[in-house]
Structure formats: structure tokens, C-alpha cells
Amino acid sequence: MEKVYVGAAYYPELWPLCEVEKDIERMKAAGVNCVRMGEFAWSRMEPKEGEFDFSWLHEVVDKLYAAGIDSILCTPSVTPPRWLFKKYPETISVDFNDRRAEISSRCHPCKTSPKMREKNRIITEQLAREFGSHPGVIGWQIDNEIFPYGEGCYCPLCKNAFREYLKGKYGTPEKLNEAWGMYRWSLDYNSFDDVDPPRAGQWQHSSLATEWRRFQCRQIISYVEEQADVLHQYTKAPVGTDMMVTNLLSYYETNKKLDVVQYNHYEPAQKLPETKFAYDFLRCIKPRPFWVTETQVGWNGGNVAFFGYRPEGNCYVNTWMPIALGGEMNEYWLFRSHAAGHELAHGSLYSTPGRAYRVTEEVKHAADDFEKVNSFLTKSKVVSKIALHYSSTAVNHFISAPMLEGFDYRAALVEKYHAAFRDTNIDVIDTQHSLDGYEVILSPFLATVDENGLKERILDWVKAGGTWIVGPMSDIFDENTAKYVHSPYSFVEELAGVYVKYQKPVKNDVFKAKFADGSDCPVSVCYDAYECKDCTSLASYDGGEFGGLSVVTEKAVGKGKVVLVGSVLSKEAIRRLAGVAPIAPASENIVLVARSGEENGIIALETEHREGTLTLDGEYTDLLTGKTFSGTVTVAPHQVLVLKK
């Protein structure tokens, strides 16, 4: 990382060149040093089949570069032109009611269509030939927010490809029937040709639904990789694809052949503290810093504005958060509001007539900060000794079979677990991630543990001295969203030295528990009750039908230990089990990040628009203001401190 990029999405195809020149001056005034362009501009790039025109884009990229503003160019495959869809209707996706998509917005293409992929490769290669070596183009984005919308495409091409996928995976219908339990209700298949994708509104078979989404994600990944392969032939600049908040489309798998992780989010102001979860996840996927390619600058919107008001300072801290937590870019959507069409109510850095907002000043404030502390940011990084599992497989399982009414896997991780570590460096990792360097790993709701070699790797890691805090509702499904027959868990019951006496997947607050020392151990959401066979009980249910049975157990395994948890505990109890000290004592509204490397220090960010406190262990200098602090420090609403000891 050499510098911090602050920018926005820009659509020069919508503006005359004289307005583009004015916008460049506005970019400089707002501290914008990078813009992202081209994602929806296929019809300007190829107005007729085989006839390409990039002259307008060359003029813009050249003018930006001359002004010291870098560009990220996007492949436009999310919005093919009408001439393509009209000539090749098989490229249009089909919804679960077997209706071809209306060409009225975006995200229409079928990801399986050979013709769609051919046309993607052609436009991508033409774009890459034109700009692959341009010094002002510092990166590439493939498509836009690619995802299996509406549970994917149901066209004949996708249905047949799904059947071939199942045939390649299971070999015979009999093996598929056995793996999915299809003999129940006499649903067994006689041929792979009998398999139809699940439909929204129907009672879906969990295994079929899981596998259908898995297939759709597989098609998307190969769709992205085809374009990446073309770009890599013509450019050395990093290539990525801007992804959604959820990990259903696996971040690790999607980014295997890409160079930089790109992320879009539109969290409302009150959710600002929770964005730390995303950044702690993104930071771990690739060795280079991640990019936030879209976030809202003022308010979100379509035909109406929504997500409400952002209080003064919120946009400033929203700009700071990804950079503090290991990113190198924060880009807003969008730079200047459109004059017509969709999303007229969306916020922006500049209004349609080109007038700045208050939030524009906050972005400039953050951009100026990054210049002041560039050395600290580029010569330090975030290092964590504790990790929290966030599994793409579990996302898919819990969509098919939530088990708990209204259960939201990601929200449970964010609100019940990660929130306990806002004052601590913590990595959020998927199951294929290396375990090296961690002292504590938390795996709540890790529905499938036996994947990506994790079972063997985590056993070795525990034996070498690690502390594994696993559960609740972990190790409960195989890859088919099917439960285990020999035990409630595939192997954790035996490993933890317990006998699972009862399991209650209920959300009622009906049970109480206490730690072995008599202190309260709050439990909620779901309840597993254990008999200890070869372990120590750390907490037990207090009275009721589970009275005397354990809810938290511990067993030494080699030099390490396994802590099995049968319910959702309080944040304080989770911290107690993890035994991890905060970076510094601070009020809950302060997010703390320890940075280390050639330079060392602490970044403190107030995230809830209220005064907070931070207690320092010595004398620190704030690199933003030059002021010296020690002892207990008052942090103003939405203030950022970059503290060096």
C-alpha cells in the first residue's frame, strides 16, 4: 500500500465534455483522487455489434490523469445493450416463473449462455486493449454487484447445466437420492433429467435448494473468471469484482483468481459500528489491502430516498473505517446525481446541478487526514490473534434450513459475537483460511465443520496450543444440508468429551445458567444440554428441565483446549471465555484498531454520534492534530484519533 484512495463512481457517458471538465475541478475540491467508470456503458462502447467506440472514454481518462486523478475501469457485462438482447434472446435470464427478464434496469444476463459469455469476452478484450497499459488506470472491476438474484436463472440452458453438474458430482441418481434423503415422500429421482430447480413460494427440499444456489454461485464465479483471464492478458493493474454484503457467493472462492477484494455496502448511519465486521472479514481474503467500491455518501435511494439522515460526522467516520481496518480505498456511490432515469433519489457528493453537500466537506476532511498520516497508514497493518468463523457454506445451509424461526446467520455473528470485540483486533475468516498465528478461534453456528480440511487442521491447531470455542449449532450438517445419523455432531461431541443429552432449537428466553463460580451465565436463542464424560463443566443450566446439565464445557486437547458452547452467551461471557484483553479500556461506542509494523499505534473511532472515553496506558500523540494525550481521554461524537506512543 502506497497511498489511500478516496473516490466515487462516475458516469461520463451521461454528461457533455464541458461538464466533465467542471466535474474534475469538483473532484479536486472534494479530495477525490480516484473514480470508477464504465460499468453500465456497453451501448456507448459498442453502439452496434462489432463497432467499437472508446474515444469518449479515452478523453475522460486522459483528462482525469492530467489532473492527478486515477481511474478504475469496469467491464460492462451487467448491462448489455438492447441490440444484443434483441438478436440473442437466449442471453436474457429467466425467473422462477419461466419469464424472460424485462430489459428495464440491469442484471439481466444469463450466466450460463455461451453467447453471453462470448460477447463478454469480446467487449472485455476490446476495453483491455484500449486501456490495459494506460498509466491512469490503476484497477479493474468486473461486472457490478454480481449475485444469484431471485435465486438465479431458470432458463433451459441453466436447468440442463444444473443437471450435468449434479451428474458430475453424484454419478448416479441413486447416490443423489441417498445423499439428499429423497425416499422420504417418494421424491426419489429415476434420472437426472427429472431434477427441476426449486421454486420460490414452494416448500423447498433443503438439499435441492442448497445445491441449486451452490450451482448458481459456481456459474457466477466462472463468469467472472472468464473476464479476469482476458484482463490479465493486457494489464498489470489489479482486477476484482465488487461484491455484496452477504457471503453466500463465497468471497474466498470468487476472489481466488482475482487480485483485489472489492466490496459494496449501504449500511444506514446507526449500523456504522457493524461495518467493522465486514472489514475484519475482507482484510483476510487476499494479501493486498481491500477496496470499498461503493458506499452511500448521504442517503440511499431509488425512486425515493431511504436509510434516513446521516448525522454530522457520520460520513467522515464512514470514510475512515475501512482505511483504519486495513483497506486502501473508499469510494462513494455516486459522484454526481443523475438528471434522469433510475435512482433519482440517491445521495451523492454533488447534486445534479453540481452543488456540494455537507457530506462533501466530510469526505474532503477525511481525504486531508489521509494525506497527514499517509506514512503511518502505509507503514503499518492490522494483526490479529483471535478469529471468528464466517462460513459461505453455513450461509447457504441456514437459508435452506434456518432451524430457528427468523434466524439470520450473519446478523447473529455481527450482533452476538463480533460486537464483543469492537475494542480488539479480530479477524473474520471462512473455513479455508489458514489457522496459523491465531491463539483463539470462535466458531458459532459453523453448520459444517468438516470441509476444506478444517477438521484435520483445527485438531492439529488445538493440539499445538490453540483455544477453539465452538458452538452453538456448529457441526450439525453435512454438505447436503443433511443431519448426521451417528451423533448430533459429526465429531465435536467426541472431541469435546460430552454426551449431548438434549437440543432445543427455540428462541425463547426460557433457561437460566450459571458459571461454576456462581456468577450468572446469560443464555439465549438455542439450547444444547451436555452430560460431561471427559471434560470440565464451565457453566450449567440453573433449574428447570435442564437443571444440572452443562451448557459450556472445556476439555484439554494436547497443549490446547476445546470449549463447547450450547447456547448464545452474553458479550461479556464470550469475552470471558476468549480471555482476550482489549487494546485499551474504552466505552462501547469506540471502535479501536491496533496498527503495527514499521510504525505502531492505535486508531480510535467514535461511531455512535455520542461522547465516549478511552483510557491510555501512557502518553500518545494524535498524528491528526499534534495534541498529546494520556490517561482517560474524552472522544467527541464522530471523532477519529490516530495515536502514536
Q: Whole-number mean pLDDT of the chain? A: 97
Rounded to whole angstroms, how far apart are CA atoms 210 and 478? 11
β-sheet bridge partners, residue 483: 477
Rounded to whole angstroms, how far apart are CA atoms 396 and 204? 13
Mean pLDDT of 95-124: 95
> Nearest Cα to 60, choosing from 146, 137, 170, 154?
137
> Nearest Cα to 439, choosing from 388, 390, 386, 383?
386
For residue 581, pLDDT over 80 is answered with yes
pLDDT tens digits, 461-516:
999 999 999 999 999 999 999 999 999 999 999 999 999 999 998 877 889 999 99
Q: Which three cell numbers stand for residue 20?
A: 466533465
β-sheet bridge partners, residue 35: 8, 71
Q: Which three cell numbers stand for residue 431?
A: 473455513
Confidence grade of residue 2 (pLDDT, cut at 50, 70, 90): confident
Confidence grade of residue 309 (pLDDT, cut at 50, 70, 90): confident
Domain 590-644 is found in CATH 2.60.40.1180: yes
pTM score above 0.95: yes
> Nearest Cα to 20, choosing from 73, 56, 72?
56
Mean pLDDT of 539-545: 93
DSSP secondary-structure letter at 333? B
What are residue 563's phi and psi, to 5 degrees? -110, 115
460 contact partners, CB below 8 Å, separation of at least 6: none
> Nearest Cα to 621, choosing from 606, 599, 589, 598?
599
> Nearest Cα to 303, choosing from 341, 339, 335?
341
Contact 93, 80 (CB under 8 A): no
Residue 268 pLDDT: 93
pLDDT tens digits, 7-56:
999 999 999 999 999 999 999 999 999 999 999 999 999 999 999 999 99
Q: Which three cell numbers stand for residue 391?
A: 462460513
What order do you get walking across the sheet with 262-264 strand by strand?
239-240, 137-141, 70-74, 34-37, 5-9, 329-332, 291-294, 262-264, 242-243
β-sheet bridge partners, residue 422: none
Confidence grade of residue 382 (pLDDT, cut at 50, 70, 90): very high
pLDDT tens digits, 141-160:
999 999 999 889 999 999 99
Rounded to whole angstroms, how far apart are CA atoms 384 and 326? 12
Confidence grade of residue 252 (pLDDT, cut at 50, 70, 90): very high
Percent share of the chain, pLDDT over 70 = 100
Confidence grade of residue 543 (pLDDT, cut at 50, 70, 90): confident
Helix (H) or strand (E) holding 455: helix 454-463
Residue 529 pLDDT: 98
Write the DSSP string, 170-197. HSSHHHHHHHHTTTGGG---SSGGG---
Residue 515 pLDDT: 97
> Nearest Cα to 267, choosing from 411, 474, 458?
411
Q: Which three cell numbers stand for residue 465?
A: 496450543
> Nearest Cα to 533, choosing from 558, 565, 499?
499
pLDDT tens digits, 170-205:
999 999 999 999 999 999 999 999 999 999 888 999
How wide is the angle at C-alpha 296 spanned by C-alphas 291 and 301, nearest 5°? 140
501 burial (CB, 10 Å; 0-12 / 13-18 / 19+) is: middle
Confidence grade of residue 307 (pLDDT, cut at 50, 70, 90): confident
Mean pLDDT of 353-374: 97
421 burial (CB, 10 Å; 0-12 / 13-18 / 19+) is: buried
Q: Which three cell numbers stand for residue 577?
A: 471465555
Contact 556, 576 (CB under 8 A): no
SS3 74: strand
How wide is the angle at C-alpha 363 spanned by C-alphas 357 and 366, nearest 5°? 150
Mean pLDDT of 590-617: 98
576 contact partners, CB below 8 Å, separation of at least 6: none
Rounded to whole angstroms, how far apart are CA atoms 263 and 145? 9
What amino acid occupies position 529? A
Residue 454 pLDDT: 98
Rounded to whole angstroms, how far apart are CA atoms 491 and 470? 12
Report helix angle 55-66 to 114-131, nearest 10. 40
Contact 61, 131 (CB under 8 A): yes
For residue 105, pLDDT over 90 is answered with no
> Nearest Cα to 565, choosing from 580, 581, 577?
577
Confidence grade of residue 277 (pLDDT, cut at 50, 70, 90): very high
Mean pLDDT of 598-604: 97
Residue 452 pLDDT: 98
Contact 447, 394 (CB under 8 A): yes
Rounded to whole angstroms, how far apart are CA atoms 345 and 620? 44
Query: Per the CATH hierarchy, to which homologous superfamily does domain 386-578 belong?
Result: Class I glutamine amidotransferase (GATase) domain (3.40.50.880)
Contact 327, 292 (CB under 8 A): yes
Helices (H), 132-289: 156-170, 173-180, 206-234, 251-254, 275-282
Peptide bond into 472 cis (omega under 30): yes
> Nearest Cα to 10, choosing from 346, 323, 348?
348
Distance from first CA to last CA of the chain, Å, rounded? 23
Rounded to whole angstroms, how far apart are CA atoms 126 and 128? 5
Confidence grade of residue 632 (pLDDT, cut at 50, 70, 90): very high
- Kindly list the domain boundaries of the chain, sorted by start residue: 386-578, 590-644
Residue 562, CA distances (Å) to 317, 404, 534, 551 in order: 38, 25, 12, 14
DSSP secondary-structure letter at 517? T
Residue 507 pLDDT: 75
Report helix angle 156-170 to 206-234, nearest 10. 100
R_g of the chain, CA atoms, integer Å = 26
